[in-house]
Amino acid sequence: MSLYTSIHNFCTAQKAVGQTNNLSSNHRGAHLLGEELYHRLNDYLKRHLQGVHAEMVKHSDEALLTYYISQWKRYTTAGSYNNHLFRYLNRHWVKREMDEGKKDIYDIYTLHLVRWKEDMFGSTQNAVMDAVLRLVEKQRNGETIEQSKVKQVVDSFVALGIDEADSTKTNLEVYRQYFEKPYIEATQKYYQNESQSFLAENSVVDYMKKAERRLDEEKERVPLFLLAEIMQPLMKCCEGALIADHAVLMRDEFQILLDNDREEDMARMYKLLARIPEGLDPLRSRFENHVRRAGLLSVEKVADQGDGLEPKAYVDALLEVHTQYAALVQTAFTGESEFVRSLDNACREYINRNKVCAKNSARSPQMLAKHADNVLKRSTKATEEDDMEKMLNQVMTIFKYLEDKDVFQKFYSQTLAKRLVNGTSASPDAETSMISKLKDASGFEYTNKLQ
C-alpha cells in the first residue's frame, strides 16, 4: 500500500518547476508529473530488458528456452504487480492520454508487453523458435520432452499480439507470423524428408501404416501445447507431405491390393487418399475396371456350357462377383456413394455384355427369369421361408442391373402363368413377395400385367 500511496502522491503533487499555484497550473503540473512517471518506468523497463537480453544470448537450445520462459514469467508477474501499483496512473493520466487518441500510450501491464516485444522479442524470437522446433523434432523422433516449455512459448507469443490501432484489444498476428508459420514450414520439411527416406527402404503398405500413425500423432500433439487454430493448416500441411506427395505411388499399389484381396490395406489407403482433394478418383476408376473384369471372367468360367448352361449357374456367377465387391465397398470404402456408383457401373457392364449374351442381348434377362421360375416352383425339398426370401432378393440384385427389363417381364409373365395354371408355385406368399419387389424396383405399370 505504501508504494501505491507514493505513486498517488507523486502524481497528485501540486508543485512543479516553474509553475504558479493556480488551478490550471496545478492540473498541468499533475499531468506533467504523470507523464514523467510513465516515461521513467518505460526507460527502466528498457534498461532491464537490455540486461535480460545480454544474458539470454549466452544460452542455446533447451537452456535458452528455460531462460526465456523463466524471464518471461518473472517479467509478466512483475508487470501484473506494477499494473496494480500504478492503477491511479492508469485511471487518470493513461486513460486521458488514450481518450485523446495519443499513440504509444498503454496501460502499465500492456506497456510491459510492448517493451518486451520491442526490446526482447524482435532480436530473440528466431533463436527461441529454432529451439522450439528442435525440441518438437526430438519428440517426433521418439524422445521424451518437456511439452510445457513449448506451451509456455506459445502463450508468450499469443500475449504479445497487441493491436496497434487499439491497445485494449489483442490479436494472433505475432503468434501466426512467428510461431505458426515456421512451425508448419518445419513440419512440412520434416515429413517430406522422412517419407522419402522411408519409402526408399520400405514397401508402400508399410509406408501407409507409418503415414497413418504420423497423422494421428500430429493431431494428438495440438491440444498438448498448440492453439486449436493451428489444427486445420497443420493437418493440411501433413496431408500434403505424407499423402499428396506420394499419392501416385499409393494408387499404383491399389491394383496389387485388389488382386490379392488385401482389404485392411485398401481401407487404410482409402482413408488416407480421402483426405486430399480428388484423391479417390483414380481408385474408383480402377475399382470399376477391376470389378468389370472379374465379372466377365466369372461368366467365362461357366459360358463354355453353351445352351446347356443352367440358369442358376449363370446367376451364381454374376452374384459371386457382386457379393464380393459390394462387401468390399462397405468394409474398406465405408459404403461411400461414389464407390457404390463404380460398383453399379461395373456390374451393369458385365451383366449385360458378357460372353453368354454376346450373340443375344436377351440372354441375361431370359436366364434370370428362368432362374426366378426355378426358385418359385414347388420342389421335392421344401424351401424354408427365409431361404426363399434370400433367393428372391438375389434375383432382384441382378434385376437391378438389367438394361432390358421388358425382356425379363415377358419371360417372367410366361413362367408365372404356367406355375399358376399347373399349380407348381411354391407358395402364394412367395409369388406375392416377388411381384411386390418388382413393383418397388420398376413401378406399378411394370407389374400391372403380373397381378
pLDDT at residue 21 greater than cutoff 70: no
b/e per residue, 423-441, with b = 16+ CB within 10 A?
eebbeeebbebbbebbbee
Superfamily, domain 2-123: Cullin Repeats (1.20.1310.10)
pLDDT at residue 10 greater than cutoff 60: no
Q: Taking a C-beta distance cutoff of 8 angstroms, is the pair 284, 342 a contact?
A: yes
Predicted local confidence at residue 240, as pLDDT: 97
Of 101-110, 184-193, 346-355, the range with the lowest mean pLDDT is 101-110
- List, for residues 250-290, the tens digit of each pLDDT value: 999 999 999 999 999 999 999 999 999 999 999 999 999 99
Highest mean pLDDT among 19-28, 57-66, 425-434: 57-66
Contacts (Cβ under 8 Å, ≥6 apart) of 135: 62, 65, 145, 146, 149, 150
DSSP H or E stretch at residue 198: helix 181-201
- List, for residues 400-440, the tens digit of each pLDDT value: 999 999 999 999 999 999 998 998 988 899 999 999 999 99
Predicted local confidence at residue 383, as pLDDT: 60
| Eight-class DSSP state of 384 | P
Q: Taking a C-beta distance cutoff of 8 angstroms, is the pair 171, 163 a contact?
A: yes
Comparing CA positions, the residue from 418, 420, 414 lying closest to residue 432 is 420
pLDDT band at residue 299 using 50, 70 and 90 as cut-offs: very high
Contacts (Cβ under 8 Å, ≥6 apart) of 128: 64, 65, 68, 153
pLDDT at residue 99 greater than cutoff 70: yes
pLDDT at residue 35 greater than cutoff 90: no
φ and ψ of 306, to 5 deg: 60, -135
Q: What is the spatial distance between Cα 207 and Cα 203, in angstroms, rounded to a whole number?
A: 6
| Eight-class DSSP state of 57 | T
C-alpha cell at 394: 438375389
- Mapping DSSP to helix (H, G, I), strand (E, B) and coil, where does residue 72 land? helix
Q: Check the CA dihedral 69-72-78-81 and report its sign.
A: negative
Q: Where are the domains of the chain?
A: 2-123, 360-379+402-451
Predicted local confidence at residue 241, as pLDDT: 98
pLDDT at residue 17 greater than cutoff 50: no
pLDDT band at residue 23 using 50, 70 and 90 as cut-offs: very low
| Chain center to CA of 298 | 39
pLDDT at residue 248 greater than cutoff 60: yes
CATH topology agreement for domains 2-123 and 360-379+402-451: yes
pTM given for the model: 0.84
| Eight-class DSSP state of 261 | T
Predicted local confidence at residue 426, as pLDDT: 87
pLDDT at residue 314 greater than cutoff 60: yes
The mean pLDDT value of the chain amounts to 89
For the chain, the residue count is: 451
Of 21-30, 237-246, 402-411, the range with the lowest mean pLDDT is 21-30
Provide the CATH topology of domain 360-379+402-451: 5 helical Cullin repeat like (1.20.1310)
Q: Which carries the bigger pLDDT value, residue 68 or residue 386?
A: 68
Predicted local confidence at residue 6, as pLDDT: 58
Q: Which carries the bigger pLDDT value, residue 303 or residue 245?
A: 245
- List, for residues 181-234, the tens digit of each pLDDT value: 999 999 999 999 999 999 999 999 999 999 999 999 999 999 999 999 999 999
- List, for residues 118-165, the tens digit of each pLDDT value: 999 989 999 999 999 999 999 999 999 999 999 999 999 999 998 766
- List, for residues 68-86, the tens digit of each pLDDT value: 999 999 999 999 988 888 8
- List, for residues 39-55, the tens digit of each pLDDT value: 898 999 999 999 999 99
